[in-house]
Amino acid sequence: MRRMPLRTLAGSAALALAAGGALATSATSAGAPGTTGTDSALATGFAQTTRSTPWTEISKLHLDFNTFHTEGLAITDQHIFLSSVEIIEPTQKYPSPVGGYDRTPGKGVGHLFVMDRQGHLQKDIVLGEGDMYHPGGIDFDGRSVWVPVAEYRPDSASVIYKVDATSLKVSEQFRVQDHIGGIVKDDTTGDLVGNTWGSRKFYAWSPTGRQKSTWSNPSHFIDYQDCQYVASAKAVCSGVANLPQTPTAGGSAATYELGGLALVDLHTHAVVHEIPFQQWSEAGHVMTRNPVKMAADGSHLTLWAAPDNGEEAGGTELYTFTADVS
């Protein structure tokens, strides 16, 4: 199945593109399920990035509605989708585990905000059930947006939703007895691939939820927050690691956000390529803290990020960065 490209928008500050033409998010030919096709421009282009690759901020768009704590981003020809968690009662750590949990469930509301391509809110889709109110990283497969909604604690439970990108119809697909913090759909197999709390483990399921495999993340560089499928059989994942400062700078009470991006092979389970990404937002967060999506036009890369919460300084802004690789 071919994925819809991200197309140039005339006059859109939110998704300004430095080069004209379509920016494909996957290969020009992904291949039939069960086959492996050619790597996309995004997969090959991202693999050429380094720690020294210059990324240029070309625009940022303020989102003029309450976005709460942003989680995942997906971009289609018609819409921008932004998942978010509204925290009503924060979780509290237990002195020792209770019933297999390390903290209370807390209370909240899961949101999937639907905007037009200029960032205007069109619909707020509430997702979740009971203690499952935490939407994670999301992905667009060319027809549907996939959204995991989990309890806000590790080793818990999740429900996996599919949202039609045109009609916005919501369908519950299956449930998982673990915290699923992000999900992509593998075009070569039709499987869904999700990562757990802290992205320490991955699962692969059939579209109906039959678990097919699981594996440990071989990298401990960052915790993945938002991923997207790229042909062939890979995912670009963004994330952050909160690391302690030096004792004189506050130690573990004053953490430093290390941001990064990784290219994960969904078949071999290897991390093919990873780089730090230290660009900072208005509120002082690293750009890869939560929602991130990328696209490529040949060797020209575009990255979108919305790292700041709605209540922080400046609210949530959608940033656009570009880079050129050889």
Query: d(Cα 99, Cα 220) in Å, to the nearest integer?
Result: 28
The per-residue pLDDT for 36 is 57
| Tokens found for residue 253 | 């009470």
Kindly report, residue by residue over 203-215, the tens digit of the pLDDT.
999 999 999 999 9
* Confidence bin at 15 (pLDDT 50/70/90): low
**CA 146 to centroid of chain Cα atoms:** 11
| 21, pLDDT greater than 80 | no
Query: d(Cα 311, Cα 30) in Å, to the nearest integer?
Result: 40
> How much is the average pLDDT of 268-287?
97
| 24, pLDDT greater than 50 | no
* Domain boundaries of the chain, sorted by first residue: 41-324
**CA 10 to centroid of chain Cα atoms:** 25
> How much is the average pLDDT of 182-210?
97
| Tokens found for residue 233 | 């059989």
> How much is the average pLDDT of 116-131?
97
More confident residue, 8 or 232: 232
For domain 41-324, the CATH architecture is Beta Barrel (2.40)
> How much is the average pLDDT of 80-99?
98
> How many angstroms separate the Cα of 181 from the Cα of each of 10, 26, 78, 184, 276?
34, 22, 25, 11, 21
The per-residue pLDDT for 252 is 87
Query: d(Cα 218, Cα 14) in Å, to the nearest integer?
Result: 35
* Confidence bin at 115 (pLDDT 50/70/90): very high
Query: d(Cα 15, Cα 117) in Å, to the nearest integer?
Result: 7
**CA 112 to centroid of chain Cα atoms:** 13
The mean pLDDT value of the chain amounts to 90
| 301, pLDDT greater than 90 | yes
Kindly report, residue by residue over 34-67, the tens digit of the pLDDT.
445 689 999 999 999 999 999 999 999 999 999 9
